A and B are shown apart, each in its own frame.
Chain A
Amino acid sequence: MKGSFSDFPDAVEVISGNPLKLDSMDQVETRYFNFAEPSENLDLESGEKLGPVTLAYETYGCLNAQKSNAVLICHALSGDAHAAGYYAGEQKPGWWDNMIGAGRAFDTDRYFVLCSNVIGGCKGSTGPASLNPATGKPYGLSFPVITIRDMVEAQRRLIDFFGIERLLCVAGGSMGGMQALQWAASYPQRVRSVIAIATTARHSPLQIAFNEVIRQSIMADRTWRSGDYYDYGPPDRGLAIARMIGHITFMSEASMEQKFSRNRTQVLKGIPFDPEFEVGGYLKYRGNQFVKRFDANAYLYITRALDYFDLSGDRLISPDGVRDARFLIISFSSDWLYPPSQSQDIVRQLKKGQVDVTSCELNSSYGHDAFLVETEGQTTLIRNFLSSSHER
């Protein structure tokens, strides 16, 4: 397995005996793994090839001598490799910092935690905004179609590079949960446990419908220019509206009522249709913030990857495959984007395959956002599930 680190991580060096803390959570950094040079291109599900590929990733904690304590965290649609800790001088921690760290659900005193940005994304890993080596210009729509399986394939190369034979756990929420399930489907012999949160084994027509409107709103922005906007400025309006739609689906009726009710914002004079209700102002704000950190084409590619996702039937657990991995399936009562019924479908498939499964529907009013917010219940479940998986 060829590959190189732009910045070789200290954490990959195995520490025996007293586990030294090499990476302090107060100062984490993103590193880059380059692979899939021309002779070893990444074979995509579509049949196309991609390479060279860069994966942005972060690690927390130490890999033990047996390399048996590695936990791969998979991020959601707009997430990135910065799952936990603080960058030097930054005030804002990684996106799942309340769950990853010393003494937390994913305890970095016990486990070696990795998180990488998905391919097709725009947070340091190769995606449509990356330079196409063949043309010297950004890929744009010449970037190949990406699936969840392709994302996992790229992660597998990173895990290989670390010399990790079998992951203790693959975990994630939403799209991250799909990657975790895909790991179990693609590499059942390489995962000891899977934690899939607020997710589905099969993207439903409702979910595809939302993503369609999301994509159409980006493409309706004239500045999108069929994806070839990198020399002209991005389609901010379209992407902002796309994200606003997303944010509606991340909340719940109850959480919106609680957060905004029918409260009014101050109406600016002369702009009659500027958001008049707080909920509208919130969505607009989130949309406008989002365009500063996300590439519109990446949003198109990743939402399409979600839509292709379908591990229903025997695709999750092959009848003649390895099935000694344990599963933890978590859902939230008020999540209507990835509702508990979809988690129950996953559990049904696992029961049918006689796979060891633990499931829990957490009572929460936060909708789909709950997986980032409901720390307490998730921590109890994940900490104990991981611990018993590790001790087996």
Chain B
Amino acid sequence: MNVRQKENPIPPDYRIIAEMIHPSARILDLGCGTGDLMAFLARSRNTRGQGIEINESAVYECVKKGLSVCHDDIESGLLEYPDKSFDYVILNQSMQEVRNADALLADALRVGRRVIVGFPNFAEISSRFRLFFQGRSPVTEALPYRWYDSPNVRFLSISDFRNFCERKGIKVLQTRYLRGQRIVACRPNLLAELAVFLLTVDKSFQN
């Protein structure tokens, strides 16, 4: 795929996702936005694939980058894909914006052999401080929105998501946690702003 080089620095979560993906993989990026992650993966990992994005002008940006993208709602856009159509389904910063996150994740795990989920950790320490000491809903660097303009409709912590995976029988193959540009090694639920999980329901995958 021919993808224009980007001048902007690569966000750290893009690098983490790229490390989780094997070369030449077939990917589906749900809520791909302007296609920066897909373009980066095509460049660094030689991936092929497809994005789904609901914003019309973001779709144009994807097409300008030579990417294939469907202008659709990710909550209704997965049904037609046959089981295991993709090596990886990516939900980077989009799961928390979806009402029916449970069903979406189940669908993602059906059409992808593995699923990569990147989400902001709502239990990160500065969010806790703001809530506890100021009695205000969190507005932080990783969560810059105020209650009235936030695209987020699901507020979860890393512990919440681990617990969810356990209850649903979803196997967590890898996790990576970020605070700014840096990897968080200990107490992620307190210190990490972003989490990236690699998941599967395929029993044959070994940790």
A residues near B, CB below 8 A? 326, 344, 347-349, 351-352, 354, 356-363, 377, 380-381, 384-385, 387-388, 391-392
User: Complex formed: what's the CA distance from A357 to B59 in Å?
Assistant: 12
| Residues of B1-26 whose CB lies within 8 A of A | 1-2
List 11 interface pairs A-B (beta carbons < 8 Å), by A numbering. Answer: A326-B68, A347-B72, A351-B80, A352-B81, A357-B70, A358-B68, A380-B63, A381-B63, A388-B2, A388-B66, A391-B66
Partner of B50, one of A352, A357, A391: A357
Minimal Cβ-Cβ distance residue in A for B86: A354
Residue among B1, B59, B69 having the largest count of chain A Cβ atoms under 10 Å = B59
Partner of A354, one of B2, B69, B85: B85
B64 within 8 A of A: yes
For the complex of A and B, list the 3 residue pairs with the smallest distance between their C-beta atoms, beginning with the closest.
A388-B66, A351-B80, A360-B71
> Known interface pairs A356-B50, A361-B71, A392-B2. Does A380 touch B64 (Cβ–Cβ under 8 Å)?
yes
Contacts of B85 in A (CB 8 A): 354
Q: How many of B's residues come within 8 Å of A, CB to CB?
A: 21
User: Complex formed: what's the CA distance from A358 to B68 in Å?
Assistant: 5
Contacts of A392 in B (CB 8 A): 1-2
Contacts of A361 in B (CB 8 A): 56, 71
The smallest beta-carbon distance between A347 and chain B, in angstroms, is 6
Residue among A326, A348, A354, A360 having the largest count of chain B Cβ atoms under 10 Å = A360
> Known interface pairs A352-B82, A391-B2. Does A384 touch B66 (Cβ–Cβ under 8 Å)?
yes
Q: How many pairs, one residue from A and one from B, have CB atoms within 8 Å of each other in the complex?
A: 59
User: Complex formed: what's the CA distance from A392 to B50 in Å?
Assistant: 16
| Residues of B69-102 whose CB lies within 8 A of A | 69-72, 79-82, 85
The smallest beta-carbon distance between A352 and chain B, in angstroms, is 5
Query: C-beta contact mask, B148-168 vs A, less than 8 Å → 1, else 0?
Result: 000000000000000000000
Contacts of A351 in B (CB 8 A): 70, 80-81
The smallest beta-carbon distance between A370 and chain B, in angstroms, is 14
Partner of A360, one of B56, B66, B80, B82: B56
User: Complex formed: what's the CA distance from A157 to B122 in Å?
Assistant: 63
Contacts of B1 in A (CB 8 A): 388, 392
Q: Tell whether, in the assembled complex, residue A347 and residue B70 are in contact, meaning their CB atoms are under 8 Å apart.
A: yes
User: Complex formed: what's the CA distance from A371 to B155 in Å?
Assistant: 42
Q: Tell whether, in the assembled complex, residue A381 and residue B60 are in contact, meaning their CB atoms are under 8 Å apart.
A: yes
User: Complex formed: what's the CA distance from A381 to B68 in Å?
Assistant: 11
Contacts of B79 in A (CB 8 A): 348
A360-B59, A385-B63, A391-B2 known; 17 new pairs, CB 8 Å cut-off, are A326-B68, A344-B72, A347-B70, A351-B70, A351-B80, A352-B80, A356-B68, A357-B70, A358-B67, A359-B69, A359-B71, A360-B71, A363-B56, A387-B66, A388-B1, A392-B1, A392-B2
User: Complex formed: what's the CA distance from A388 to B70 in Å?
Assistant: 16
The smallest beta-carbon distance between B25 and chain A, in angstroms, is 15
The smallest beta-carbon distance between B76 and chain A, in angstroms, is 9
Minimal Cβ-Cβ distance residue in B for A351: B80
User: Complex formed: what's the CA distance from A384 to B50 in Å?
Assistant: 16
| Residues of B36-74 whose CB lies within 8 A of A | 50, 56, 59-60, 62-64, 66-72
The smallest beta-carbon distance between A328 and chain B, in angstroms, is 8
Q: Tell whether, in the assembled complex, residue A377 and residue B68 are in contact, meaning their CB atoms are under 8 Å apart.
A: no
Contacts of B56 in A (CB 8 A): 360-363, 377
Minimal Cβ-Cβ distance residue in B for A328: B63
Contacts of B66 in A (CB 8 A): 384, 387-388, 391
Contacts of B82 in A (CB 8 A): 352, 354
Residue among B2, B60, B72, B80 having the largest count of chain A Cβ atoms under 10 Å = B80
The smallest beta-carbon distance between B77 and chain A, in angstroms, is 8
Minimal Cβ-Cβ distance residue in A for B111: A351
Q: Tell whether, in the assembled complex, residue B80 and residue A384 are in contact, meaning their CB atoms are under 8 Å apart.
A: no
> Known interface pairs A326-B68, A347-B72. Does A358 touch B63 (Cβ–Cβ under 8 Å)?
yes
Residue among B69, B72, B79, B82 having the largest count of chain A Cβ atoms under 10 Å = B72
Partner of B60, one of A326, A357, A377: A377
The smallest beta-carbon distance between A84 and chain B, in angstroms, is 23
Contacts of B70 in A (CB 8 A): 347, 351, 357-359
The smallest beta-carbon distance between B109 and chain A, in angstroms, is 17
User: Complex formed: what's the CA distance from A347 to B70 in Å?
Assistant: 8
The smallest beta-carbon distance between B43 and chain A, in angstroms, is 14
Residue among B2, B56, B66, B68 having the largest count of chain A Cβ atoms under 10 Å = B68
Minimal Cβ-Cβ distance residue in A for B26: A354
User: Complex formed: what's the CA distance from A387 to B4 in Å?
Assistant: 12
Contacts of A387 in B (CB 8 A): 66
Partner of B69, one of A349, A358, A377: A358
The smallest beta-carbon distance between A383 and chain B, in angstroms, is 9
User: Complex formed: what's the CA distance from A351 to B72 in Å?
Assistant: 12
Q: Tell whether, in the assembled complex, residue A348 and residue B63 are in contact, meaning their CB atoms are under 8 Å apart.
A: no
User: Complex formed: what's the CA distance from A249 to B1 in Å?
Assistant: 40
Residue among A344, A349, A361, A388 having the largest count of chain B Cβ atoms under 10 Å = A388
Minimal Cβ-Cβ distance residue in B for A358: B68
User: Complex formed: what's the CA distance from A357 to B62 in Å?
Assistant: 13
| Residues of B178-196 whose CB lies within 8 A of A | none
